Every structure is written in C-alpha cells, then in structure tokens.
Amino acid sequence: MVGLNRLPSHIDLRKIMVLHKILSLPAELVSRNIFIRKLVLYINDMTHVTSGFIPDICHILLKYNLHSIINNFLAPECYVPSKYVWKSVVKRSIISRETQLWDYRTSVDTDFVFFRILHPCITTCIIYKVCNRTSLRNTMFVISRLWSRPVTHENRTCINCGKIYQEELVHVICECPSTSELRSQCLDTISDILLPEHKQSLLLQDSVSQTLKLLGAPIKPILDCETEVTFLRTAFPFIVQCLRQYVM
C-alpha cells in the first residue's frame, strides 16, 4: 500500500551494493584477490564453492539479469562503475523484475480485477495518501478490502429494491434507491469540491466508472492531486455509509 517493492528485493539491493564495495577495493588488497579467486573458481565449476556469499550473489545477479556486472569486471579491461551508476542500474533491474511479478500476480488472480484498475502500478496507494494521519484510518481498511474483492458478473436481485444487478458494489454505491439519499448528500458536498465541468464529467459516466472513481481509480475526470485527495476524503465515508445502510 505504501508503494514499496517486496522486502527480499531490498535485501538483494544491499547485497549487490556489498559486492560493489568488494570489487572497488584496492587491487593489491589480499581479501579482494581471495574473493576474486573464489568467484572465478565458482564460475568455472560451481561444485568448488557451494555456500556463502559468492553462490548467493551470483544467483541474485542472475535473478535480476545483472550477470554482465561480473562479466565486465572479469574482462581484460576490468570495469567497475561508480557507486552511483552501479546503484541506479541495479535499482532499475530490480524495479523491472518486481513490476513483472506484480503484473503477473494481479493478472492471474480474479480477486484483483478491481485492484488492477484502481492501482495499476507499484506506487504509493491513493487510499494511503488520503487516509493516513487522518481520522479515516478505519475507513482505509474498509476501502482497501473493497479494492481486492472478487467481481461477479451474474445477474442478481437486490434484496432492498428488487432490481437486477450484475455487480453488487456498483449497485450499492451508484444505483440502489436505498442509498439514493446518501448519494445526493455526497453529490452536494462534491459540488463544492469539483469544478462544474469535472462534476458534469463524473455524472455522465456509467455506474461502473462512477464507482471506480469514488473508490480512487485514476480515471476521468482527472483531478489535480490536492482536489483528488479532498474528493476522496468525501467519497470514502460516503461509501462506508452506503455499505452500512445496505445489507450486503
């Protein structure tokens, strides 16, 4: 939710930075040369070095497609980039792999159908920005759970109004007469926050898009950061009130 990569990737980054420190040591230093000798032994025959830092770091470099680092170092011209360049190259590779894993994980699980629209990349989650350090902390947990709920596409009948709907959350928030009073109250408040054209744009959207926008999806109308946060600080409590009023 705070937009960080997984913890193992941070540990891997630290280990790769330790490797940079070792390779940057003065060429005459015995400990550096022992390390290089063991590294070459491992590359030539993995059975010579079976545990410790060298197999671990080689596995990590392979994982992030960074084995060229070692190849460049062992080449006749022996190239070790500066710490800044090294770190930025490594970070880019880690972010690329983490993003691939994120995409895969959220595309294979149907629980993430909503989530992929609402939170399309690894960044600080809008719910966290809106609710953190405010009185909306409990609201944050409710909205977070709504983001990762499975989406249904079967026709169901509303137990409150008798109408047929496909997605219960969309019906509760934007369609059901049992929450219409809350909806008009929310619209009144939103009128003070949004520009008339943005409010008009929101009202012209279908129920699904309106629901996603109220949950924090980065879709039209696109608002500036401050207005978006103020808008969602109105929308989130409205959603929670709708859920309370509607027996799901």
Nearer to Zn ion, 62 or 248 (CB): 248
- Is residue 161 a contact point for Zn ion (CB under 5 A)? yes
Q: Please work out the total of residues on this chain that contact Zn ion, with binding judged by CB under 5 A.
A: 4
Under the binding rule (CB under 5 A), the answer on residue 170 touching Zn ion is: no
Using CB under 5 A as the binding rule, whether residue 243 contacts Zn ion is answered as: no
What DSSP character marks residue 243?
H
Least distance in angstroms from the C-beta of 160 to Zn ion? 4
Q: Which is nearer to Zn ion, 47 or 155 (CB)?
A: 155
Q: Which is nearer to Zn ion, 170 or 232 (CB)?
A: 170
* Stretch touching Zn ion by CB under 5 A, among 51-59, 106-114, 172-180, 216-224: 172-180
Contact segment (CB under 5 A) with Zn ion among 86-94, 160-168, 191-199, 227-235 equals 160-168
DSSP bridge partners of 165: 156
**Beta strand ranges found along 46-187 (DSSP E):** 156-157, 164-165
User: Closest CB to Zn ion among 19 and 170?
Assistant: 170
The Cα 35–Cα 65 span in angstroms is: 22
Q: Between residues 93 and 179, which has the closer beta carbon with respect to Zn ion? A: 179
Helix (H) or strand (E) holding 44: helix 30-44
Name 113's Cβ contacts closer than 8 Å, sequence gap at least 6. 150, 151
Q: What are phi and psi of 229, to 5 degrees?
A: -65, -45
Q: Are 73 and 80 in contact (CB under 8 A)?
A: yes
In terms of CB distance, is 180 or 191 closer to Zn ion?
A: 180
Question: Residue with structure tokens 């859920």?
Answer: 243
**From candidates 160, 189, 227, 245, binder to Zn ion by CB under 5 A:** 160
61/242 with CB nearer Zn ion: 242
Out of 176, 214, 215, 239, which residue is the one contacting Zn ion (CB under 5 A)?
176
State the minimum distance, in angstroms, from the CB of residue 205 to Zn ion.
Answer: 19
122, 158, 187, 243: residue in contact with Zn ion (rule CB under 5 A): 158
What's the one-letter identity of residue 235?
A: A
In whole angstroms, how close is the CB of 9 to Zn ion at the nearest point?
A: 45
Which sign, positive or negative, has the C-alpha torsion 16, 17, 20, 22?
negative
Q: Which stretch binds Zn ion (CB under 5 A): 115-123, 134-142, 145-153, 158-166?
A: 158-166
- 155: three-class secondary structure by DSSP: coil
Identify the H or E element spanning 184. helix 180-193
Residue 85: CB atoms within 10 Å: 11
State the nearest-atom distance from the C-beta of 142 to Zn ion, in Å: 20
Q: How many CB atoms lie within 10 A of CB 184?
A: 9
The footprint of Zn ion (CB under 5 A) covers 158, 160-161, 176
